[in-house]
Amino acid sequence: MSNTIFSLTYGDKGSFQDGPVPAEIRVPLAGHDTKTVKKKAEVAPGTLIADHKNAKTGNMHAGIAGVVTEVTADCIVIAAQEPSAEAAPASVDAVDVSALSGDALTTALKALGVDVRPLIKKCDTLIINGLNPEPGITFAEALLGQYKSTLEAGLALLKKLSPAGKMVLACAEGSAASLSGCTNAPIKPVYPNSLTEMVIAKVSGSEKSSGYRVLPLHTLFNLGLVAETGLPLTKTVVSVQGVSYLVTIGTPASAVLQHAGHAIADGDSIIIGGPMRGLATADLLRGVDKDTEGLFLIKKGTFAPVTNHQCISCGECVLHCPSRIMPNLISRYVEFNDYDSCVKESIDACMECGLCAFYCPARRPMMQLIRLGKHQIALKEAQVSACALQGEEGAA
Amino acid sequence: MSIEALPTAPFLAVGAAPHYHCGTSIKGMMRNILIALAPAVIGALYWYGMEAARVMALAVATAVVVETLATKAMHREVMVDDMHAVVSGLLFSFLLPAGAPWWLVITGTAVTMLMGKMLFGELGGSPVVGPAVGWAFCRVSWPLFVDPNAMMLNTEMVNPLTQLKYFGVAQASQFGLPALLSGNQLGALGAAQVGALLIGGIYLVVRGTIRWQIPAGFVIGVLGLGGLYYAMDPTMYANPVFHLLTGSTMLAAFFLMTDSTSSPNGCVSRLVYGLVGGLLVVLIRTYGKYPDGVMFAVLLANMVSPLVDMIKPKPFGAR
């Protein structure tokens, strides 16, 4: 069973379908402090609506023509509306990013809504992760096939930005995909091989290698869209239950799912991201973000609910763990707040693939417990270093 | 507030990632074990008739009742519907002779459940396998009533292990392979159904309820050390296959040693744990006071379990 469900090859399913024409979009914000629009302001596709004070975090833009109906700390709501004749906001001009370089390019990309930080991170080798990130997300083959020109456009910009001396395309074994200037590194397309740690280990041949960074194909595609059009990033590819759509950023999850023909009923779960690591949202209107790779609807009763049953020590998690740690032991340590023992059992080696909880017959929330443990350990370390700093100040 | 009154109906369910699950459950595991035990139940009914049915039914009923009462007394959620009590009760009855008196069955099952499980909270806490605890308690308290030879006087079947212990290898070698496999040997009512248990055990391994490492280690341990003794002096020591097909060896290999709670987790540690159990069986049978030392071997191996769990690979990034 595991091999079929965790296979990451789906074949090239052709060009992406168009996402819904939303009646309302909710553009999610992540710390974008400076809202450049007010309530009732009219916007056109591509109008800047929120600026981030960090010079490398992408700005947010309206994806549709409409009027702003609500501005909150974490989203801007725009209702679709035909632009009125007299006060129509100016449509946005395309920027020729391919002519720019250096800081000018960074600034231009930020203004176009691209997160520049992952592109300029220090590394010797940049690996472009050409595998589907999680089971059920299916756009990788199509991106490397039909949308190769978009990826190449993004890659041309990436080469100017990234300090990496070498670029590698990690692709599925037997795949004919290639990108100019990248050497291919075939990887067996089975989850969790698509995770950053695993990709680096497979490409470099060692689990202890440094100087490697992994860039998701999704990010490169977003960059490519901006590079090709010169317009702000307002659409991205989202794999909806295995079918890929080009969706306007901010489109509510429920609208996308309904457009794809999935009816949502009471007690269903909507998963944003992948089914193994993604987030279950309680909000039907939660908007699609720039880095949303997948949307999944899990019908009520498909899987047994998570319980707080005690660990029965069956060892399934230990046998399936790609990090070779003992999730059963660690999850129990977390339950008893014994974080020192968690560190001793190498909780930090966990790459959060979710296989432990997938195989747990007691349906324990293993990955959640491990994430909680990591979080608590980080908090504790932050406190310790803060105390140390205070001590130094006192001594000085 | 009704759901319809809310603007965002339908209500969504949320949960922790991963959102997929392989579909196994504790109940499913227990159901598989019961299916795997079914051939042995049929074998026990064939050889011992209603006597065996009486003991098995009484043990299962007692186990369920004891677990329910114990969880109520502990103010915990009653989870008897996961069928672990049924499995524990049935496994314990498999260790008794068919003629065991009713009070022995009830006391032994109660000890199995209380000291083998409930004392440590819900399923998952016990460091030892329950039925072995219950059997050891009864064996030490009332040796006569747990002894198949003493309790089964109205049968023509012969216990191969006592033959070996008190009359030597020559007497033991009269048992043929078909007789031993089909359960034509005097012993505990379920444990003696060696062939049926083997079929059930293979079913469990195929279904993935248990892993092959523990049974393999156990069988290798029995055959290895038994073979060593046999090679040293075939007139003194029994054939290793004889050890494998008599007493509770097969039951322990597939159903007691593999008890999830008391066995280790890693691949190598499971193999070692099985090996330790197998070696102890032969050692106890050769030098011990008991003709069939399998349950003591299981309990001793349980004690080793946390130790062998320290055999583990280096975590990701450390090699």
**Helices B130-141/B84-94 angle, 10° precision:** 40
Kindly report, residue by residue over A215-268, the tens digit of the pLDDT.
999 999 999 999 888 899 999 999 999 899 999 999 999 999 999 999 999 889
For residue A207, give its domain range: 115-222
Kindly report, residue by residue over A102-159, the tens digit of the pLDDT.
888 888 888 898 888 888 888 899 999 999 999 989 999 999 988 999 999 999 989 8
CATH for A184: 3.40.50.11540
Mean pLDDT in residue range A179-193: 89
Best B19, B80, B209, B268 member to test A by mutation, with max A CBs in 10 Å, is B19
Best B119, B205, B214, B316 member to test A by mutation, with max A CBs in 10 Å, is B316
Q: Is the Cβ–Cβ distance between A374 and A323 less than 8 Å?
A: no
Contact between chains at B264 and A309 (C-beta distance less than 8 A)? no
The average confidence (pLDDT) of chain B is 91
CA–CA gap between residue B317 and residue B319 (Å, rounded): 6
Picking from A68, A71, A67, the residue whose alpha carbon sits closest to that of residue A84 is: A67
A5, A280, A355: residue with CB nearest B14: A280
- Omega before B306 within 30 of 0, i.e. cis: no
Query: Which pLDDT band, with edges at 50, 70 and 90, does B1 fall under?
Result: very low
Sheet (strand A235-240) strand order: A17-18, A243-248, A235-240, A294-298, A269-272, A279-281
Contact between chains at A278 and B17 (C-beta distance less than 8 A)? yes
Listed in sequence order, the residues at least 6 apart from A134 whose beta carbon sits closer than 8 Å to its beta carbon are A8, A191, A194, A273, A274, A275, A276, A277, A278, A293, A294
3-class DSSP string for A243-268: EEEEEECCCEHHHHHHHCCCCCCCCE
Query: Which pLDDT band, with edges at 50, 70 and 90, does A85 fall under?
Result: low
- Domain endpoint, select from A165, A187, A222: A222
DSSP letter at B268 equals H
Contact between chains at B13 and A268 (C-beta distance less than 8 A)? yes
Element (H, E) at B232: helix B213-232
State yes or no: pLDDT of B3 exceeds 50.
no
Contact between chains at A269 and B19 (C-beta distance less than 8 A)? yes
State yes or no: pLDDT of B4 exceeds 80.
no
Inside any domain, residue A88: no
Which residues in chain A are contacts of B317 at CB distance < 8 A? 197, 207-208, 349
Kindly report, residue by residue over B151-194, the tens digit of the pLDDT.
888 888 888 888 888 888 888 778 888 888 998 888 899 999 99
- Domain endpoint, select from A189, A222, A255: A222
Give the minimum alpha-carbon distance from A184 to chain B in angstroms, rounded to a whole number: 23
Element (H, E) at A235: strand A235-240
Inside any domain, residue A321: yes
Structure tokens at A14: 């052709």
Kindly report, residue by residue over A237-249, the tens digit of the pLDDT.
999 998 999 999 9
Contact between chains at B312 and A354 (C-beta distance less than 8 A)? no
Inside any domain, residue A198: yes
Give the minimum alpha-carbon distance from B32 to chain A in angstroms, rounded to a whole number: 13
Picking from A283, A306, A303, A305, the residue whose alpha carbon sits closest to that of residue A295 is: A283
Kindly report, residue by residue over B115-138, the tens digit of the pLDDT.
999 999 888 889 999 999 999 999
Residue the block writes with tokens 């089914």: A275
State yes or no: pLDDT of B7 exceeds 60.
no
Using CA coordinates, name the residue in chain A closest to B10.
A266
Q: Comparing A284 with B220, which gets the higher pLDDT?
A: B220
In this complex, how many residue pairs, one in chain A and one in chain B, have their CB atoms less than 8 Å apart?
A: 168
Query: What is the percent of chain A with per-residue pLDDT over 70, rounded to a whole number?
Result: 96
Q: Is the Cβ–Cβ distance between A362 and A309 less than 8 Å?
A: yes
Structure tokens at A61: 């833009």
Contact between chains at B19 and A275 (C-beta distance less than 8 A)? yes
End-to-end CA distance of chain B: 57
Best B11, B20, B83, B213 member to test A by mutation, with max A CBs in 10 Å, is B20
Count of domains in chain A? 2
> Which pLDDT score is estimated for A390?
82
Picking from A70, A65, A76, the residue whose alpha carbon sits closest to that of residue A39 is: A70
> Which pLDDT score is estimated for A86?
58
Inside any domain, residue A280: no
- Domain endpoint, select from A197, A222, A247: A222
Picking from A70, A117, A64, the residue whose alpha carbon sits closest to that of residue A89 is: A64
Listed in sequence order, the residues at least 6 apart from B68 whose beta carbon sits closer than 8 Å to its beta carbon are B78, B80
Contact between chains at B12 and A265 (C-beta distance less than 8 A)? no
Burial of B202 (0-12, 13-18, 19+ CB in 10 A): middle
In degrees and rounded to multiples of 5, residue A345 shows phi and psi of -90, 20
Best A296, A314, A372 member to test B by mutation, with max B CBs in 10 Å, is A314
Count other C-beta atoms under 10 Å from residue A392's C-beta: 9
DSSP letter at A309 equals P
Mean pLDDT in residue range A206-211: 86
CA–CA gap between residue B220 and residue B240 (Å, rounded): 10
State yes or no: pLDDT of B106 exceeds 50.
yes
Instruction: Give the domain ranges of chain B.
Output: 26-308
The alpha helices in chain A, defined as continuous H runs, are 2-5, 102-111, 117-120, 140-145, 148-161, 196-204, 217-229, 253-259, 316-320, 327-335, 339-344, 355-359, 366-395
Structure tokens at A16: 């992406």
Return the CATH fold of B26-308.
Answer: Ammonium transporter fold (1.10.3430)
> Which pLDDT score is estimated for A88?
58
Contact between chains at B12 and A315 (C-beta distance less than 8 A)? no
Count other C-beta atoms under 10 Å from residue B197's C-beta: 28
> Which pLDDT score is estimated for A242?
86
B16, B19, B124: residue with CB nearest A310: B124
Inside any domain, residue A66: no
A1, A269, A325: residue with CB nearest B15: A269
